[in-house]
Structure 1
Amino acid sequence: MISENSALYIVATPIGNLGDMSQRAVEILQQVALIAAEDTRHSARLLQHYAVSTPCVALHEHNEREQSSRLLQRLANGESVALISDAGTPLLSDPGFHLVQQARQQGIRVVPVPGPSAVIAALSVSGLPTDCFKFIGFLPAKSVARRQRLAALAAESCTLAFYESPHRIVESLTDMAHELGAARAAVLARELTKTFETVRSGTLAELGEFVSSDPNQQKGEIVVLVEGAPAVESALDAEAERVLGILLAELPLKQAAALAARLTGGKKNQLYQRALTMKK
Protein backbone atom coordinates (compact mmCIF):
# COMPACT_ATOMS: atom_id res chain seq x y z
CA MET A 1 0.00 0.00 0.00
CA ILE A 2 1.30 3.45 -0.95
CA SER A 3 2.01 5.72 2.01
CA GLU A 4 -0.05 8.93 2.09
CA ASN A 5 2.99 10.78 3.38
CA SER A 6 5.28 10.00 0.45
CA ALA A 7 5.35 12.14 -2.69
CA LEU A 8 7.33 12.73 -5.83
CA TYR A 9 8.10 16.46 -6.00
CA ILE A 10 8.82 17.99 -9.43
CA VAL A 11 11.01 20.94 -8.46
CA ALA A 12 11.85 23.84 -10.76
CA THR A 13 15.32 25.31 -10.31
CA PRO A 14 16.96 28.51 -11.66
CA ILE A 15 17.82 28.75 -15.35
CA GLY A 16 20.84 30.91 -14.55
CA ASN A 17 20.34 33.32 -11.68
CA LEU A 18 20.52 31.52 -8.34
CA GLY A 19 18.33 34.23 -6.83
CA ASP A 20 15.34 32.80 -8.70
CA MET A 21 15.16 29.72 -6.47
CA SER A 22 11.95 29.74 -4.40
CA GLN A 23 11.96 29.26 -0.64
CA ARG A 24 9.53 26.38 -1.00
CA ALA A 25 11.83 24.62 -3.48
CA VAL A 26 14.74 24.88 -1.03
CA GLU A 27 12.64 23.50 1.82
CA ILE A 28 11.41 20.55 -0.25
CA LEU A 29 14.95 19.66 -1.36
CA GLN A 30 16.11 19.76 2.26
CA GLN A 31 13.25 17.61 3.53
CA VAL A 32 12.99 14.77 0.99
CA ALA A 33 14.88 11.51 1.43
CA LEU A 34 16.47 11.66 -2.01
CA ILE A 35 16.99 14.00 -4.95
CA ALA A 36 17.00 12.65 -8.50
CA ALA A 37 19.09 15.05 -10.61
CA GLU A 38 19.75 15.07 -14.33
CA ASP A 39 23.46 15.64 -13.61
CA THR A 40 24.51 15.37 -9.97
CA ARG A 41 27.77 17.23 -10.60
CA HIS A 42 25.96 20.11 -12.31
CA SER A 43 23.39 20.37 -9.50
CA ALA A 44 26.00 20.20 -6.72
CA ARG A 45 26.70 23.96 -6.94
CA LEU A 46 23.03 24.81 -6.54
CA LEU A 47 22.53 22.43 -3.64
CA GLN A 48 25.67 23.63 -1.90
CA HIS A 49 24.61 27.27 -2.31
CA TYR A 50 21.37 26.56 -0.46
CA ALA A 51 22.90 24.22 2.13
CA VAL A 52 21.02 21.20 0.84
CA SER A 53 22.79 18.03 1.98
CA THR A 54 20.16 15.55 0.80
CA PRO A 55 21.67 12.56 -1.06
CA CYS A 56 21.46 12.67 -4.87
CA VAL A 57 21.23 10.09 -7.60
CA ALA A 58 21.49 10.65 -11.35
CA LEU A 59 18.41 10.29 -13.53
CA HIS A 60 19.05 11.07 -17.18
CA GLU A 61 17.95 9.92 -20.63
CA HIS A 62 20.28 6.91 -20.60
CA ASN A 63 19.24 5.41 -17.24
CA GLU A 64 15.74 6.78 -16.65
CA ARG A 65 13.80 3.54 -16.87
CA GLU A 66 16.23 1.59 -14.69
CA GLN A 67 16.57 4.38 -12.14
CA SER A 68 12.83 5.04 -12.08
CA SER A 69 12.16 1.50 -10.83
CA ARG A 70 14.43 2.11 -7.84
CA LEU A 71 12.88 5.48 -7.08
CA LEU A 72 9.35 4.13 -7.35
CA GLN A 73 10.21 1.41 -4.85
CA ARG A 74 11.46 3.97 -2.36
CA LEU A 75 8.33 6.05 -2.89
CA ALA A 76 6.18 2.95 -2.35
CA ASN A 77 8.05 2.35 0.91
CA GLY A 78 6.98 5.76 2.22
CA GLU A 79 9.93 7.98 1.31
CA SER A 80 9.61 11.23 -0.61
CA VAL A 81 11.75 12.03 -3.65
CA ALA A 82 12.43 15.28 -5.51
CA LEU A 83 13.18 15.44 -9.23
CA ILE A 84 15.26 18.31 -10.60
CA SER A 85 16.79 18.97 -14.03
CA ASP A 86 19.97 20.85 -14.86
CA ALA A 87 17.94 24.07 -15.05
CA GLY A 88 14.32 25.20 -15.10
CA THR A 89 11.21 23.06 -14.87
CA PRO A 90 11.76 19.30 -15.25
CA LEU A 91 10.21 17.33 -18.15
CA LEU A 92 10.33 20.26 -20.63
CA SER A 93 12.86 18.69 -23.00
CA ASP A 94 14.37 17.03 -19.91
CA PRO A 95 14.15 13.50 -18.46
CA GLY A 96 11.41 12.49 -16.05
CA PHE A 97 8.37 11.57 -18.14
CA HIS A 98 8.65 7.84 -17.48
CA LEU A 99 9.08 8.38 -13.72
CA VAL A 100 6.08 10.72 -13.44
CA GLN A 101 3.89 8.52 -15.61
CA GLN A 102 4.67 5.39 -13.58
CA ALA A 103 4.26 7.22 -10.27
CA ARG A 104 0.80 8.42 -11.21
CA GLN A 105 -0.21 4.98 -12.48
CA GLN A 106 0.85 3.49 -9.16
CA GLY A 107 -1.13 5.99 -7.12
CA ILE A 108 1.87 7.94 -5.84
CA ARG A 109 1.31 11.64 -5.22
CA VAL A 110 3.12 13.82 -7.77
CA VAL A 111 3.47 17.40 -6.55
CA PRO A 112 4.59 20.37 -8.67
CA VAL A 113 6.92 22.92 -7.11
CA PRO A 114 6.76 25.58 -9.84
CA GLY A 115 9.41 28.11 -10.73
CA PRO A 116 11.66 29.18 -13.60
CA SER A 117 11.12 27.97 -17.16
CA ALA A 118 13.14 29.26 -20.09
CA VAL A 119 10.29 29.01 -22.58
CA ILE A 120 7.81 30.85 -20.33
CA ALA A 121 10.39 33.51 -19.47
CA ALA A 122 11.09 34.04 -23.18
CA LEU A 123 7.41 34.27 -24.06
CA SER A 124 6.78 36.81 -21.32
CA VAL A 125 9.25 39.33 -22.78
CA SER A 126 8.90 38.50 -26.49
CA GLY A 127 6.10 40.80 -27.51
CA LEU A 128 4.66 37.94 -29.56
CA PRO A 129 1.13 36.60 -28.95
CA THR A 130 1.00 34.38 -25.85
CA ASP A 131 -2.71 33.52 -25.81
CA CYS A 132 -1.84 30.49 -27.92
CA PHE A 133 1.62 28.97 -28.23
CA LYS A 134 3.01 25.58 -29.19
CA PHE A 135 6.13 24.27 -27.48
CA ILE A 136 8.17 22.24 -29.95
CA GLY A 137 11.36 21.81 -27.93
CA PHE A 138 14.44 20.75 -29.89
CA LEU A 139 14.19 20.28 -33.63
CA PRO A 140 15.85 17.25 -35.29
CA ALA A 141 19.63 17.49 -35.59
CA LYS A 142 19.73 16.57 -39.29
CA SER A 143 18.79 19.27 -41.79
CA VAL A 144 16.42 17.14 -43.90
CA ALA A 145 14.41 15.98 -40.89
CA ARG A 146 14.51 19.48 -39.41
CA ARG A 147 13.08 21.03 -42.58
CA GLN A 148 10.36 18.40 -42.75
CA ARG A 149 9.36 19.16 -39.17
CA LEU A 150 9.31 22.90 -39.84
CA ALA A 151 7.29 22.46 -43.04
CA ALA A 152 4.67 20.58 -41.01
CA LEU A 153 4.48 23.58 -38.64
CA ALA A 154 4.28 26.27 -41.32
CA ALA A 155 0.49 26.65 -41.12
CA GLU A 156 0.31 26.76 -37.30
CA SER A 157 -1.42 29.96 -36.20
CA CYS A 158 -0.03 29.85 -32.64
CA THR A 159 3.34 31.25 -31.62
CA LEU A 160 5.98 28.51 -32.02
CA ALA A 161 8.53 27.96 -29.26
CA PHE A 162 11.80 26.11 -29.89
CA TYR A 163 14.87 25.21 -27.86
CA GLU A 164 18.11 25.04 -29.84
CA SER A 165 21.71 24.13 -29.14
CA PRO A 166 24.48 26.68 -29.81
CA HIS A 167 26.23 24.66 -32.51
CA ARG A 168 23.01 24.32 -34.55
CA ILE A 169 21.44 27.75 -34.10
CA VAL A 170 22.73 29.23 -37.38
CA GLU A 171 21.56 26.26 -39.45
CA SER A 172 18.22 26.12 -37.65
CA LEU A 173 17.48 29.81 -38.22
CA THR A 174 18.32 29.33 -41.89
CA ASP A 175 15.94 26.39 -42.13
CA MET A 176 13.22 28.29 -40.24
CA ALA A 177 13.49 31.18 -42.68
CA HIS A 178 13.27 28.78 -45.62
CA GLU A 179 10.30 26.75 -44.37
CA LEU A 180 8.34 29.28 -42.29
CA GLY A 181 9.14 32.40 -44.28
CA ALA A 182 12.09 34.78 -44.07
CA ALA A 183 9.78 37.68 -43.18
CA ARG A 184 8.11 35.87 -40.27
CA ALA A 185 8.49 37.80 -36.98
CA ALA A 186 10.63 36.03 -34.39
CA VAL A 187 12.55 36.51 -31.14
CA LEU A 188 15.91 35.09 -30.07
CA ALA A 189 16.14 34.70 -26.28
CA ARG A 190 19.59 33.57 -25.17
CA GLU A 191 21.18 33.04 -21.75
CA LEU A 192 18.08 34.31 -19.95
CA THR A 193 18.71 35.63 -16.41
CA LYS A 194 22.48 35.32 -16.95
CA THR A 195 25.19 37.96 -17.36
CA PHE A 196 25.14 37.99 -21.18
CA GLU A 197 21.37 37.75 -21.64
CA THR A 198 20.10 38.53 -25.16
CA VAL A 199 16.51 39.18 -26.21
CA ARG A 200 16.46 40.20 -29.86
CA SER A 201 13.42 40.76 -32.09
CA GLY A 202 13.33 40.74 -35.89
CA THR A 203 12.36 38.68 -38.87
CA LEU A 204 13.79 35.18 -39.18
CA ALA A 205 16.10 36.48 -41.90
CA GLU A 206 17.32 39.33 -39.69
CA LEU A 207 17.90 37.05 -36.71
CA GLY A 208 19.82 34.63 -38.92
CA GLU A 209 22.14 37.43 -40.05
CA PHE A 210 22.52 38.71 -36.48
CA VAL A 211 23.56 35.32 -35.09
CA SER A 212 25.77 34.44 -38.06
CA SER A 213 27.74 37.68 -37.73
CA ASP A 214 28.32 37.42 -33.96
CA PRO A 215 29.95 34.23 -32.61
CA ASN A 216 28.97 35.29 -29.07
CA GLN A 217 25.33 34.73 -30.02
CA GLN A 218 26.18 31.13 -30.86
CA LYS A 219 26.78 30.21 -27.22
CA GLY A 220 24.69 29.25 -24.22
CA GLU A 221 21.06 28.26 -23.76
CA ILE A 222 18.79 29.44 -26.59
CA VAL A 223 15.04 29.84 -27.07
CA VAL A 224 13.64 30.85 -30.46
CA LEU A 225 10.05 32.10 -30.71
CA VAL A 226 8.33 32.46 -34.08
CA GLU A 227 5.06 34.24 -34.76
CA GLY A 228 2.25 31.99 -35.96
CA ALA A 229 1.18 31.83 -39.59
CA PRO A 230 -1.11 34.60 -40.82
CA ALA A 231 -4.74 33.73 -41.44
CA VAL A 232 -5.49 32.44 -44.91
CA GLU A 233 -6.90 35.32 -46.93
CA SER A 234 -9.91 33.47 -48.30
CA ALA A 235 -11.17 29.98 -48.82
CA LEU A 236 -10.07 28.12 -51.93
CA ASP A 237 -12.72 27.60 -54.54
CA ALA A 238 -13.91 24.06 -55.09
CA GLU A 239 -12.05 23.59 -58.38
CA ALA A 240 -8.68 24.71 -56.96
CA GLU A 241 -9.10 22.37 -54.00
CA ARG A 242 -10.06 19.48 -56.28
CA VAL A 243 -6.99 20.03 -58.48
CA LEU A 244 -4.74 20.34 -55.45
CA GLY A 245 -6.06 17.09 -54.00
CA ILE A 246 -5.34 15.22 -57.24
CA LEU A 247 -1.81 16.59 -57.49
CA LEU A 248 -1.02 15.85 -53.84
CA ALA A 249 -1.74 12.19 -54.47
CA GLU A 250 1.07 12.07 -57.04
CA LEU A 251 3.55 14.86 -56.22
CA PRO A 252 5.53 16.28 -53.29
CA LEU A 253 3.71 19.00 -51.37
CA LYS A 254 5.60 22.03 -52.70
CA GLN A 255 5.48 20.83 -56.30
CA ALA A 256 1.77 20.08 -56.05
CA ALA A 257 1.01 23.56 -54.67
CA ALA A 258 3.11 25.27 -57.35
CA LEU A 259 1.51 23.31 -60.19
CA ALA A 260 -1.99 23.85 -58.77
CA ALA A 261 -1.32 27.59 -58.74
CA ARG A 262 -0.34 27.50 -62.42
CA LEU A 263 -3.36 25.43 -63.43
CA THR A 264 -6.00 27.33 -61.44
CA GLY A 265 -4.54 30.82 -61.19
CA GLY A 266 -4.67 30.58 -57.40
CA LYS A 267 -2.11 32.01 -55.01
CA LYS A 268 0.81 29.65 -54.49
CA ASN A 269 1.21 30.44 -50.78
CA GLN A 270 -2.49 29.94 -50.10
CA LEU A 271 -2.44 26.63 -51.93
CA TYR A 272 0.68 25.57 -50.05
CA GLN A 273 -0.95 26.32 -46.67
CA ARG A 274 -4.05 24.38 -47.70
CA ALA A 275 -1.89 21.48 -48.90
CA LEU A 276 -0.23 21.32 -45.47
CA THR A 277 -3.64 20.98 -43.85
CA MET A 278 -4.75 18.34 -46.33
CA LYS A 279 -1.58 16.31 -45.75
CA LYS A 280 -2.30 16.20 -42.00
Structure 2
Amino acid sequence: MTEKKGKLWIVGTPIGNLDDMTIRGKRVFEEADLILAEDTRRMRSLLSSLGIENKDVVSLNMHNQEERLSFIIRKLDEGAEIALSSDAGMPVISDPGAKIIRICRDRGFEVDVSPGPSAVTSAIAVSGFPGSHFTFLGFLPRGKNRRRLLRKISRGSYGESLIVFFESPFRLMETLREILEIIGDREIFIGRELTKLFQESFFGCVSDAIQKFAFSEVKGEITVVLSGRDEKDV
Protein backbone atom coordinates (compact mmCIF):
# COMPACT_ATOMS: atom_id res chain seq x y z
CA MET A 1 0.00 0.00 0.00
CA THR A 2 1.40 3.37 -1.09
CA GLU A 3 1.72 5.89 1.72
CA LYS A 4 -0.17 9.14 1.29
CA LYS A 5 2.17 11.94 0.29
CA GLY A 6 1.75 15.35 1.88
CA LYS A 7 0.55 18.40 -0.04
CA LEU A 8 1.11 22.13 0.34
CA TRP A 9 -1.71 24.50 -0.55
CA ILE A 10 -1.18 28.23 -1.21
CA VAL A 11 -4.41 29.93 -0.18
CA GLY A 12 -5.44 33.51 -0.91
CA THR A 13 -7.47 35.33 1.74
CA PRO A 14 -9.54 38.55 1.65
CA ILE A 15 -7.70 41.87 1.59
CA GLY A 16 -10.51 43.48 3.56
CA ASN A 17 -13.99 42.25 2.70
CA LEU A 18 -14.65 38.78 4.14
CA ASP A 19 -17.18 38.08 1.38
CA ASP A 20 -14.22 37.82 -1.01
CA MET A 21 -13.11 34.51 0.54
CA THR A 22 -13.50 31.88 -2.16
CA ILE A 23 -15.54 28.70 -1.77
CA ARG A 24 -12.50 26.65 -2.75
CA GLY A 25 -10.24 28.45 -0.28
CA LYS A 26 -12.71 27.79 2.52
CA ARG A 27 -12.81 24.10 1.61
CA VAL A 28 -9.01 23.90 1.67
CA PHE A 29 -8.98 25.39 5.18
CA GLU A 30 -11.68 22.93 6.28
CA GLU A 31 -9.77 19.92 4.99
CA ALA A 32 -6.23 21.01 5.91
CA ASP A 33 -4.43 19.19 8.72
CA LEU A 34 -2.38 22.30 9.46
CA ILE A 35 -2.65 25.99 8.58
CA LEU A 36 0.42 28.23 8.39
CA ALA A 37 -0.42 31.88 9.06
CA GLU A 38 1.49 35.12 9.57
CA ASP A 39 -0.68 36.04 12.54
CA THR A 40 -2.43 33.12 14.23
CA ARG A 41 -4.98 35.39 15.92
CA ARG A 42 -6.05 36.96 12.63
CA MET A 43 -6.28 33.54 11.03
CA ARG A 44 -8.39 32.14 13.86
CA SER A 45 -10.68 35.16 13.53
CA LEU A 46 -11.04 34.51 9.79
CA LEU A 47 -11.68 30.81 10.36
CA SER A 48 -14.30 31.62 12.98
CA SER A 49 -16.08 33.96 10.55
CA LEU A 50 -16.13 31.07 8.07
CA GLY A 51 -17.57 28.71 10.67
CA ILE A 52 -14.35 26.68 10.92
CA GLU A 53 -13.27 25.74 14.44
CA ASN A 54 -10.62 23.60 16.15
CA LYS A 55 -7.97 23.90 13.47
CA ASP A 56 -4.25 23.52 14.11
CA VAL A 57 -2.83 26.96 13.23
CA VAL A 58 0.91 27.64 13.40
CA SER A 59 2.67 30.97 12.86
CA LEU A 60 4.90 31.45 9.84
CA ASN A 61 6.46 34.86 9.34
CA MET A 62 9.65 36.56 8.17
CA HIS A 63 11.28 35.96 11.56
CA ASN A 64 10.62 32.25 12.08
CA GLN A 65 10.30 30.67 8.62
CA GLU A 66 13.80 29.16 8.76
CA GLU A 67 13.15 27.35 12.04
CA ARG A 68 9.73 26.16 10.81
CA LEU A 69 11.17 24.35 7.79
CA SER A 70 12.01 21.04 9.48
CA PHE A 71 8.61 20.98 11.22
CA ILE A 72 6.77 21.57 7.95
CA ILE A 73 8.76 18.94 6.06
CA ARG A 74 8.17 16.42 8.84
CA LYS A 75 4.42 17.04 8.69
CA LEU A 76 4.41 16.61 4.92
CA ASP A 77 6.45 13.41 5.25
CA GLU A 78 3.68 12.15 7.54
CA GLY A 79 1.14 12.80 4.76
CA ALA A 80 -0.36 16.05 6.06
CA GLU A 81 -2.17 18.56 3.87
CA ILE A 82 -0.90 22.02 4.82
CA ALA A 83 -2.44 25.38 3.89
CA LEU A 84 -0.10 28.36 3.64
CA SER A 85 -1.74 31.78 3.91
CA SER A 86 -0.84 35.39 4.65
CA ASP A 87 -2.63 38.04 6.69
CA ALA A 88 -4.35 39.33 3.55
CA GLY A 89 -4.21 38.59 -0.16
CA MET A 90 -1.95 36.06 -1.83
CA PRO A 91 0.97 34.53 0.05
CA VAL A 92 4.53 35.29 -1.13
CA ILE A 93 3.51 38.70 -2.59
CA SER A 94 5.53 40.83 -0.15
CA ASP A 95 4.96 38.04 2.36
CA PRO A 96 6.93 34.96 3.51
CA GLY A 97 6.65 31.51 1.99
CA ALA A 98 8.67 31.40 -1.24
CA LYS A 99 11.55 29.38 0.22
CA ILE A 100 9.23 26.83 1.79
CA ILE A 101 7.38 26.39 -1.50
CA ARG A 102 10.63 25.78 -3.40
CA ILE A 103 11.90 23.27 -0.84
CA CYS A 104 8.60 21.39 -0.83
CA ARG A 105 8.63 21.17 -4.62
CA ASP A 106 12.29 20.08 -4.66
CA ARG A 107 11.43 17.27 -2.23
CA GLY A 108 8.64 16.01 -4.46
CA PHE A 109 5.63 17.27 -2.52
CA GLU A 110 2.67 18.51 -4.53
CA VAL A 111 2.15 22.27 -4.37
CA ASP A 112 -1.23 23.67 -5.43
CA VAL A 113 -2.89 27.07 -5.27
CA SER A 114 -6.33 28.32 -4.34
CA PRO A 115 -6.25 31.83 -5.83
CA GLY A 116 -7.73 34.77 -4.00
CA PRO A 117 -7.79 38.56 -3.88
CA SER A 118 -4.69 40.67 -4.39
CA ALA A 119 -4.28 44.34 -3.54
CA VAL A 120 -1.85 44.62 -6.47
CA THR A 121 -4.17 43.46 -9.24
CA SER A 122 -7.23 45.02 -7.57
CA ALA A 123 -5.56 48.44 -7.54
CA ILE A 124 -4.51 48.13 -11.18
CA ALA A 125 -8.01 47.05 -12.20
CA VAL A 126 -9.76 49.96 -10.49
CA SER A 127 -7.11 52.53 -11.48
CA GLY A 128 -8.17 52.68 -15.10
CA PHE A 129 -4.59 52.31 -16.33
CA PRO A 130 -3.92 49.67 -19.01
CA GLY A 131 -2.67 46.70 -17.03
CA SER A 132 -0.81 44.66 -19.64
CA HIS A 133 2.62 45.66 -18.28
CA PHE A 134 3.43 46.46 -14.67
CA THR A 135 6.28 46.20 -12.19
CA PHE A 136 5.51 45.46 -8.55
CA LEU A 137 8.07 46.80 -6.09
CA GLY A 138 6.56 45.69 -2.77
CA PHE A 139 7.20 48.25 -0.02
CA LEU A 140 9.58 50.96 -1.17
CA PRO A 141 12.87 51.24 0.71
CA ARG A 142 13.48 54.22 2.98
CA GLY A 143 15.75 57.24 2.74
CA LYS A 144 18.56 57.28 0.17
CA ASN A 145 17.64 53.86 -1.19
CA ARG A 146 14.14 55.08 -2.03
CA ARG A 147 15.50 58.14 -3.86
CA ARG A 148 17.91 55.87 -5.73
CA LEU A 149 15.01 53.65 -6.81
CA LEU A 150 12.92 56.64 -7.90
CA ARG A 151 15.82 57.91 -10.03
CA LYS A 152 16.01 54.48 -11.62
CA ILE A 153 12.30 54.72 -12.48
CA SER A 154 12.81 58.24 -13.82
CA ARG A 155 15.59 57.05 -16.14
CA GLY A 156 13.20 54.55 -17.69
CA SER A 157 14.70 51.37 -16.25
CA TYR A 158 11.21 49.82 -16.13
CA GLY A 159 10.18 51.03 -19.57
CA GLU A 160 6.55 52.01 -20.01
CA SER A 161 5.22 49.59 -17.40
CA LEU A 162 3.07 50.75 -14.52
CA ILE A 163 4.86 50.96 -11.19
CA VAL A 164 2.91 49.39 -8.32
CA PHE A 165 3.97 49.47 -4.69
CA PHE A 166 2.74 49.42 -1.11
CA GLU A 167 3.40 52.35 1.19
CA SER A 168 3.02 53.10 4.87
CA PRO A 169 0.53 55.89 5.65
CA PHE A 170 3.26 57.54 7.70
CA ARG A 171 5.56 57.82 4.67
CA LEU A 172 3.02 58.48 1.91
CA MET A 173 3.49 62.27 1.79
CA GLU A 174 7.27 62.04 1.79
CA THR A 175 7.16 59.48 -1.01
CA LEU A 176 4.75 61.58 -3.09
CA ARG A 177 6.95 64.66 -2.75
CA GLU A 178 10.01 62.69 -3.84
CA ILE A 179 8.11 61.23 -6.82
CA LEU A 180 7.15 64.76 -7.90
CA GLU A 181 10.72 65.98 -7.46
CA ILE A 182 12.53 63.08 -9.12
CA ILE A 183 10.07 61.56 -11.60
CA GLY A 184 7.66 64.40 -12.29
CA ASP A 185 3.93 65.04 -12.20
CA ARG A 186 2.72 61.75 -13.60
CA GLU A 187 -0.76 60.34 -13.22
CA ILE A 188 -1.16 58.24 -10.11
CA PHE A 189 -3.75 56.04 -8.42
CA ILE A 190 -3.79 55.64 -4.65
CA GLY A 191 -6.02 53.01 -3.07
CA ARG A 192 -6.46 53.14 0.69
CA GLU A 193 -8.11 50.28 2.60
CA LEU A 194 -9.29 48.65 -0.63
CA THR A 195 -12.50 46.57 -0.27
CA LYS A 196 -12.93 47.69 3.35
CA LEU A 197 -15.79 49.74 4.79
CA PHE A 198 -13.90 53.05 4.66
CA GLN A 199 -11.99 52.47 1.43
CA GLU A 200 -10.81 55.52 -0.48
CA SER A 201 -9.54 55.92 -4.02
CA PHE A 202 -7.68 58.82 -5.58
CA PHE A 203 -6.85 59.31 -9.25
CA GLY A 204 -5.04 62.33 -10.64
CA CYS A 205 -1.59 63.84 -10.88
CA VAL A 206 1.04 63.50 -8.17
CA SER A 207 0.78 67.21 -7.33
CA ASP A 208 -2.97 66.85 -6.81
CA ALA A 209 -2.41 63.85 -4.55
CA ILE A 210 -0.03 65.90 -2.42
CA GLN A 211 -2.66 68.62 -2.02
CA LYS A 212 -5.34 66.08 -1.16
CA PHE A 213 -3.43 64.18 1.50
CA ALA A 214 -1.46 67.11 2.96
CA PHE A 215 -4.30 68.18 5.23
CA SER A 216 -5.74 64.82 6.24
CA GLU A 217 -4.56 62.08 8.57
CA VAL A 218 -3.76 59.13 6.36
CA LYS A 219 -4.47 55.72 7.88
CA GLY A 220 -4.67 52.12 6.75
CA GLU A 221 -3.11 50.00 4.02
CA ILE A 222 -2.11 51.85 0.87
CA THR A 223 -1.48 50.61 -2.66
CA VAL A 224 -0.05 53.00 -5.24
CA VAL A 225 -0.14 52.68 -9.03
CA LEU A 226 2.10 55.13 -10.89
CA SER A 227 1.66 55.59 -14.64
CA GLY A 228 4.45 54.34 -16.87
CA ARG A 229 7.07 56.34 -18.70
CA ASP A 230 5.55 58.36 -21.54
CA GLU A 231 7.22 59.61 -24.71
CA LYS A 232 7.07 63.14 -23.27
CA ASP A 233 9.28 61.94 -20.38
CA VAL A 234 12.11 61.07 -22.77
Q: Give TM class, smaller chain.
A: over 0.9
Kindly provide the amino acid, as one letter, of the partner of residue 202 in structure 2. Answer: R
Mapped to 2, the partners of 1:69 and 1:204 lie a distance apart of 47
Q: Deviations over 1:78-125 (max 9, x none)?
A: 111001111111111011111111111111111110011011111111
Structure 2 gaps, min length 5: none
Mapped to 2, the partners of 1:204 and 1:8 lie a distance apart of 42
Q: Please list, as runs of the form range in 1=range in 2, the aligned pairs for 1:123-134 lying within 5 A after superposition.
A: 123-134=124-135
2:52 matched residue in structure 1 = 52
Could you tell me whether the CA contact under 8 Å between 2:9 and 2:84 is conserved in 1? yes
In the TM superposition, what is the alpha-carbon distance from 1:22 to its structure 2 partner? 0.7
In the TM superposition, what is the alpha-carbon distance from 1:6 to its structure 2 partner? 2.3
Could you tell me whether the CA contact under 8 Å between 2:16 and 2:193 is conserved in 1? yes
SS at match of 2:170: helix
Mapped to 2, the partners of 1:193 and 1:153 lie a distance apart of 29
Q: Please list, as runs of the form range in 1=range in 2, the aligned pairs for 1:20-169 lying within 5 A after superposition.
A: 20-53=20-53, 54-141=55-142, 143-154=143-154, 155=156, 156=158, 157-169=160-172
Sort the Cα spacing of 1:139 and 1:43 in 2 relative to 1 into closer, same or farther, 3 A.
same
Could you tell me whether the CA contact under 8 Å between 1:129 and 1:227 is conserved in 2? no
Mapped to 2, the partners of 1:91 and 1:107 lie a distance apart of 20
Q: Deviations over 1:7-64 (max 9, x none)?
A: 1100000011111101111110010110000000122210111122321000000001
Sort the Cα spacing of 1:25 and 1:3 in 2 relative to 1 into closer, same or farther, 3 A.
farther
Structure (1/2) with the larger strand percentage: 2
SS at match of 1:92: coil
Mapped to 2, the partners of 1:100 and 1:198 lie a distance apart of 34
Could you tell me whether the CA contact under 8 Å between 1:32 and 1:81 is conserved in 2? yes
Q: TM-score, normalised by structure 2?
A: 0.93
Kindly provide the amino acid, as one letter, of the partner of residue 164 in structure 2. Answer: A
1:191 matched residue in structure 2 = 193
SS at match of 1:178: helix
Q: Deviations over 1:212-269 (max 9, x none)?
A: 2211xx11110000000113x7xxxxxxxxxxxxxxxxxxxxxxxxxxxxxxxxxxx6
In the TM superposition, what is the alpha-carbon distance from 1:5 to its structure 2 partner? 4.5
Mapped to 2, the partners of 1:205 and 1:7 lie a distance apart of 49
Higher relative contact order (CA 8 A, sep 6+): 2
Mapped to 1, the partners of 2:6 and 2:181 lie a distance apart of 50
Mapped to 1, the partners of 2:101 and 2:178 lie a distance apart of 34
Task: Say yes or no: does 1:18 pair with 2:14.
Answer: no
1:173 matched residue in structure 2 = 176
Could you tell me whether the CA contact under 8 Å between 1:8 and 1:81 is conserved in 2? yes
1:201 matched residue in structure 2 = 203
Could you tell me whether the CA contact under 8 Å between 1:135 and 1:160 is conserved in 2? yes
Could you tell me whether the CA contact under 8 Å between 1:163 and 1:223 is conserved in 2? yes
Structure (1/2) with the larger helix percentage: 1
Could you tell me whether the CA contact under 8 Å between 1:185 and 1:226 is conserved in 2? yes
Alignment length, in residue pairs?
Answer: 229
Structure 1 gaps, min length 5: 234-268, 271-280
1:6 matched residue in structure 2 = 6
SS at match of 1:167: coil
In the TM superposition, what is the alpha-carbon distance from 1:76 to its structure 2 partner? 2.1
Mapped to 2, the partners of 1:17 and 1:136 lie a distance apart of 24
Identical residues among aligned pairs (%): 37
Q: Deviations over 1:155-205 (max 9, x none)?
A: 121001011111111111112222221x20110011011111111101112
Mapped to 2, the partners of 1:192 and 1:185 lie a distance apart of 19
Please list every run of at least 4 consecutive aligned residues from structure 1 whose deviation after the TM superposition is greater than 6 angstroms. Answer: none
